[in-house]
Structures are given as structure tokens and as C-alpha cells.
Amino acid sequence: MATALPLDLARPRRTGAAGILLLLALAYGLVPLLGTGYLFEAILTPFLALALAGLGLNLLTGYAGLLSLGSAAFMAVGAYAAFNLSLRLPGLPLPATILLAGLVAAAVGAVAGLPALRLRGFYLAVSTLAVQFFVAWALNRIGWLSNDSPSGIVAAPRLEVAGLSFDDARGRYLFSLTVVAVLTFLAWRLVRSPTGRNLVAIRDHETAARIVGVKVARTKLLAFALSSFIVGIAGVLWAFAYLRTVEPAGFNLDRSFQILFIVIIGGLGTLRGAFLGAGFIVVLPLVLSRLGAAALGDGFDSGTLEMVQRIVLGALIVAVLIREPAGLAALLDRALNHALRRVRPRS
């Protein structure tokens, strides 16, 4: 029985291209003109960083079928690699620093993916969880990584490219948007290439993929490396553009689960799902905060907000898995198709 292709592979290209161009025009043209500092710093910049991390994890989990619970560890590797490269090689341009940091994260990801040659499912997830714990231990114990800072927290370097400063809120947003746009385009090309088809083949039926000539071991390690490369660069954006600090607390286990939830809610096996899921995760606390403040007043503090957020998020994940396993991307496609049928003139 034929297996359904990922949503992105089945989507009409012309409609998708027009929508993407419209979104980019709005993101580069209208949003910088009308956006406020709060919009850039509290919503758009973290949204872009988390969406990129979700995109990287979706390549691994959604397309290759390899579950990982260590995404925050690879984000941390990218962020700390970029910090040390900028610190110890001060003349290195920022784009080169980010690229090299991504390569460092990719190398760590390839090593972390070695258990995938023998393990599957839950056991593979546990092995990636071990990577998360090891990286957290290293960040807290190896002072060289944080330039021997007593607190382990260091200020992120300035965002400057070819003499242009991107250090204000709008500049950090535009810088993050450009990095995310470039990597999303490359990921889009990847999933439509023979390598992307190999990833899907391994996910759908590993034995059949091996029989038809797919080099399963090499493809799995490549999936870990490519995913970690993107997630590592997302870690650079998270630390340099959003937090403005590089600290272990920014890459804890909760962050790994947050990225996994982004992929599940947005939709596995679709690039759009990473952006839909990240948008939901970023906006949800703001909505709950406003609703809670309106209903409970001063009694709705940050601790209550965090508890309610976890409850609502868990309930929504269960609902998504039961009602729509393909996530928000499938719901959006269904709504768009329904709207098109309504407005299309009948013959």
C-alpha cells in the first residue's frame, strides 16, 4: 500500500510560492515599519529562533522518523561554539562564526546519532536524552566554555555584519528573519532532493529502503548532522538575538520538550508545521496571561501562569494526537481548501 507523502511534498507549488513571497514581503516591508520593540523582542525574535529549531527537529523526527529529546543540547552547542569563536577569533565575520558554530553542532549531532545505527524508538530517544544531560553537565563544569565566568552567564557579542549593526530590537529581528529564511529555503530544497526522499523512505520502512539501495546508516547519521546544524544555528539566534546572553539555563530540558511540542502541534513531516507550532507556543503564554489576569486579577501570578500553560499545552497535545495527528498544518490546509471551494464559482 502506498504511503502518503509529507504535506509539503504534495502541496501545489505555485500557490505555496505565492504565499511565501507575500509573507516575506510583509515580514521585510510592513512589520519593520509598524512593529514595536515589544513585538520584536517578546514575540517575533523568539518565534523565529524556535521555528528554526523546530524545523531542524522536524527533519530528523518528521522526515527521517528518528526521535530526539536533546534538541536544546544542540542549541547550546551552537550558541557556545559561536560565543567562543567570536571571543577567541575576534576578526572572524559573524556569518562565518554562525556557519562554523552550526558545523560544530552538526559534528556533535553526528556523534550523538551513532546509537541510531542500533537503537530505535524509545531507546533512541533515551540516548539523545543522555546527550542533553551530558551537555548540561559540561556547560556547568567546564569554565572555559563560558570564559571562566563565575555565574556561567556571559553577554552575547554584538550583531554586526560588514559594518552594519543589527543590535537594536528591529535589527535583531531582521537578522534572525534572514537567517531563518535562508535555512528554510535550503531545507525546502533538501526535502525535495534524493536525500530527502531517502529520509522519508527510512521513516516509512527501513528494511524496504535498504533493499532498494538506500544507505541506511549513512542517511541516519546525515539526518542527525543536518538537523543538529540547523538546531545549532537556532541556538545562536536564541542566545545572540533573543536572550542577549549565553547561559546554560536557556538550553535546559524544558527547551527540548518545547521544541518537540512545536513539531507535534505544528505537524510532523511538513516544514510549515515548525512555524505554526512555534507561533502557537510563543502566543499561548501571552493569551493565557491576558485571560488569567482578566479572570483572576492579581492572583494570576507567573507561577500560576506556568502551571496553567503546562496543563493547557498537555491537553492540546493529546487532542492533536487524537483528532489530527498531522497537526496545525493539516488543519490549515483543510481550512484553505474549504475556503477555496466556497469562493470558486460553480460551473
DSSP annotation of 186 reads H
Range of the domain at 163: 13-249
Residue 271 lies in a domain: no
As a whole number, the mean pLDDT across the chain is: 87
Residue 99 lies in a domain: yes
Residue 6 lies in a domain: no
Residue 200 lies in a domain: yes
For position 102, what pLDDT does the model report?
A: 97
Range list of H helices, the chain:
7-10, 13-25, 31-34, 37-38, 45-58, 71-88, 94-112, 121-141, 169-191, 194-204, 206-211, 216-236, 253-266, 271-296, 302-323, 327-343
Residue 103 lies in a domain: yes
CA distance 256 to 73: 8
- With residue 338 as reference, give the H or E element that holds it: helix 327-343
pTM: 0.89
Which set of grid coordinates corresponds to residue 324?
A: 489530527
pLDDT of 16 strictly over 80: no
Phi, psi (degrees; rounded to nearest 5) at 224: -65, -40
pLDDT of 137 strictly over 60: yes
Domain count, the chain: 1
For position 14, what pLDDT does the model report?
A: 54
pLDDT of 242 strictly over 90: yes
Work out the average pLDDT over 267-271. 90
Residue 34 lies in a domain: yes
In this prediction, residue 23 has a pLDDT band, given cuts at 50, 70 and 90, of: confident
Burial of 179 (0-12, 13-18, 19+ CB in 10 A): buried
pLDDT of 345 strictly over 90: no
pLDDT of 300 strictly over 70: no
